[in-house]
Amino acid sequence: MPGGYFRRGLHKEGVYSLLAPTFQESPAKMRLVLSALSACVAVLAQTSVDTYVATESPIAKAGMLANIGPSGSKSEGALAGIVIASPSTVNPDYLYTWTRDSSLVFKVIIDQFTSGADTTLLGQIQNFVKAESILQQVSNPSGTVSTGGLGEPHFNIDETAFTAAWGRPQRDGPALRATAMIEYANWLIKNTSVSNVVSNLWPIIQLDLDYVAADWNQTTFDLWEEVDSSSFFTTAVQHRSLREGATLATALGQTSVVSNYETQAANILCFLQSYWNPTDGFITANTGGGRSGKDANTALASIHTFDPAAGCDATTFQPCSDKALSSLKVYVDSFRSIYTINSGIASNAAAATGRYPEDTYMGGNPWFLTTAAVAEQLYDALIVWKGQGSLNVTSVSLAFFQQFLPSVTVGTYAASSSTFTTLTAAVETFADGFLAINAKYTPTNGSLSEQYSRDDGTELSAADLTWSYAATLTAFGARAGVTSPGWGAAGLTVPATCQTSGGGGTGTVAVTFNVYATTFFGENIYITGNVDSLQDWSTDTALLLSNPDYPIWTITVDVPASSDIQYKYIRKVNGVFEEWESDPNNEFTSPASGTYTTNDTWR
């Protein structure tokens, strides 16, 4: 790549040692030369990224479309509108369709179509809508369409259920799918009719939004499918989906759902604040999992809930907010010392990043999409700063900005100031650096796998990852100043009182759990499940059932009303955990009031 030599070999200290004998008598001349050389390095680095963007853009788009059925060149066997995660079938097998990945990919496609950038994509979008409407109705291990099945993370590419063991449910998919389809719905309102949207698209969107409104406060596997807790990414995209869902419902005259969506969106916004770690200055990605909480999850959430009209709002963790910038620095810095390919990189320069520093999957390596996400968050920040003509440095974001200008202090800097010019130029160079790293490890044919080696940068894991291509395209778009329509993040405030438990309803209802189970002396039956009153899936604190009518075991528990309740029975011998009953989870939706009784048989 042009400029590669300069990125690797030219730095102030090296140039100083080379030129010091010549300029010992003129420090002023030395500073001028160094300044000029630094400017040259920046220009050459920018040129190399320009070249990468120009050459990789069509390759990334072609790679993305190649993985969409039925006509994508690498999507053999996938039905129309089905996005395969990757054509890889071994080590790892990703020849499935994920709701999350598909929705993020089609958000890119819908953005390009509705903006007029590519008007040939309408057929792809129509196929996606039809495919997702079918998948919504497929009964699966997470349930049916009305009993939690919308939280099923992935399906076979022939639109049948994937039934093997997996981290389920994953509650970000319905929110992301709703967001993608809402943008298409808004285009259809302008270009066809409201009645068209009400008849053909709203029923699909409403299913997802109703699921989000009812189940947002239930535990979920995170977007890496490893941690079952609450996830910042999931909470953030759920909040967005309900805000823009309420707006769409109003436009369509579907007013009966608006109040619930708005109420639950306000509650989610309250809960969103709880992820902020003020002591260490970063957004904690998951409430469980036993990890540091430093995770690409947070940068991805920021860029996928970016609303240019919201400025640098910290309540919704906008890309240029002080909290999002502080968190980004902590996240990036966590990889500087653990990847060999980051060795020797300055502490204020771009570095390859992965999912989270403790990652061991496939060896725990940098990902193309996470490194691109850092660049995208920075480009989004630049869009807002330049648009509003100022940037604000707070005590929270001070460390982020001091990377580039150690003398900067807390304050607001207008676009006419030298501080604004210096900082925005430095952040732009910093952002380009992350794309330059991806460029360095992109093979000559432009293909993008899931990961590249932490030791030497060679491609690893799933080849031609669709999400890698989509993430690359959105980062390139942000670099060019492209934005999507806003979603209503501007001017939001956290309510004084919030309900952060209890699903879509309020209060609790008494549920009696009955299970037929034979046992031997010393063996007892316990229950645990997905809500606090069922001990959040803990085997240690699971609730003991009684057996006055053995072999029927029974217990009555107050659970959240109008909520998705999932549970399983376990066996303990003399209080020591023995075994779970088999999959899938038992599941029902609790009533809004009154009581409820289950009658189960141990599986």
Residues of each annotated binding site for substrate: 166
Using CA atoms, how far residue 226 sits from 6, 94, 288, 355, in Å, is 40, 16, 10, 12
From 56, 159, 222, 376, the catalytic residue: 222
Q: Which residues are within 8 A (CB) of 39 and not within 5 positions of it... i.e. 6 or more apart?
A: none
Residue pair 411/393 in contact by the 8 Å Cβ criterion = yes
To the query of whether residue 225 is one of the catalytic residues in this protein, the response is yes
Q: Which residues are within 8 A (CB) of 364 and not within 5 positions of it... i.e. 6 or more apart?
A: 354, 358, 454
From 50, 225, 226, 536, the catalytic residue: 225
> Which residues are paired to 597 by β-bridges?
512
Burial 517-556 (b: 16+ CB within 10 A, else e): beeeeeebbbbbbbbeebbbbeeeebbebeeeeeebbbbe
Cα–Cα distance between 212 and 216 in angstroms, integer? Answer: 5
Torsion of CA 276, 345, 423, 313, to 10 degrees: -20
Count other C-beta atoms under 10 Å from residue 146's C-beta: 11
Cα–Cα distance between 3 and 495 in angstroms, integer? Answer: 51
To the query of whether residue 118 is one of the catalytic residues in this protein, the response is no
The sign one gets for the Cα dihedral 454, 456, 461, 465 is positive
Cα–Cα distance between 278 and 399 in angstroms, integer? Answer: 13
Count other C-beta atoms under 10 Å from residue 302's C-beta: 29
- Helix and strand totals (H; E) in the chain: 16, 19
Cα–Cα distance between 123 and 181 in angstroms, integer? Answer: 14
- The C-alpha R_g of the chain, in whole angstroms, comes to 26
Phi-psi region of 166 (alpha: psi -120 to 50; beta: other; left: phi over 0): beta
Q: Which residues are within 8 A (CB) of 553 and not within 5 positions of it... i.e. 6 or more apart?
A: 514, 515, 516, 517, 525, 545, 546, 547, 569
> Which residues are paired to 570 by β-bridges?
526, 580
Binding residue ranges:
166
User: What amino acid positions are annotated as catalytic residues?
Assistant: 222, 225
